[in-house]
Structure 1
Amino acid sequence: MQIRSYAPSDAEAVIALWQEAGLTRPWNDPAKDIERKASTQPELFLVGEDAGVVVGTAMVGYDGHRGWVHYLAVAPSQQGGGLGRALMAEAERLLIGLGCPKINLMVRTGNDRVIGFYEALGYGTDEVALLSKRLIPDA
Structure 2
Amino acid sequence: MQIRSFQLSDYRSVAELLEEVLSEECCEETMGAFARQLSWDSELVLVAESAGVIAGVLIGTIDKQKGYMYRVAVHEGFRRQGVGRALVSTMNNRFRQRKVMKVLIPGDKHNELLRPFYESLGVRPIDFAQLTHPLSIVAG
Q: Same fold (TM over 0.5)?
A: yes
Q: Equivalences for 1:3-18 in 2 at 5 Å?
A: 3-18=3-18
**Unmatched tracts of structure 2, length 5 or more:** none
Structure-2 separation of matches of 1:111 and 1:35: 19
Aligned residues: 134
Superposition deviation, residue 33 in structure 1? 3.6
Which structure has the highest strand share of the two? 2
Tell me which residue corresponds to 2:133: 132
Q: Give 1:135 shift.
A: 9.0
Distance 1:47 1:82, change over 3 A: same
Q: Secondary structure at the match of 1:46?
A: strand
* Residue 22 (1) aligns with residue 22 (2): yes
Structure 2 counterpart of 1:16, one-letter code: E
Q: CA deviation at 1:37?
A: 1.7
8 A contact 2:6–2:46 mirrored in 1: yes
Task: Report the CA distance shift for 1:70/1:113 in structure 2 as closer, same or farther (over 3 A).
Answer: closer
| Structure 1, gaps ≥5 residues long | none
Distance 1:107 1:81 in 2: 25
- 1:28 Cα deviation after fit: 2.8
Task: State the Cα distance separating 1:23 from its structure 2 match.
Answer: 5.0
Length-normalised TM-score, structure 1: 0.81
Q: 1:119, CA displacement in angstroms?
A: 0.7
Aligned CA distance change for structure 1 residues 117 and 12 (closer, same or farther; 3 Å): same
Which residue in 1 is equivalent to 2:74? Answer: 74
State TM-score, norm by structure 2: 0.80
Note closer, same or farther for the CA distance 1:112–1:51 as it changes in structure 2 (3 Å cut). same
Larger fraction in helix: 2
| SS of residue in 2 equivalent to 1:28 | helix
Is 1:3–1:46's contact at 8 Å kept on the other side of the alignment?
yes
1:15 counterpart letter in structure 2 = A
**Alignment-mate amino acid for residue 49 of structure 2:** E
Give 1:11 deviation, angstroms. Answer: 1.0
Query: Any idea what SS the aligned residue of 1:11 has?
Result: helix
Residues in 2 aligned to 1:51 and 1:90: alpha-carbon distance in whole angstroms: 19
Q: Which has the larger radius of gyration?
A: 1
Maintained 8 Å contact 1:55/1:74: yes
For the residue of structure 1 that corresponds to 2:114, the secondary structure is helix
Q: Which moved more, 1:73-82 or 1:98-107?
A: 98-107
For residues 63 and 34 of structure 2, what CA distance do their matches in structure 1 show?
18
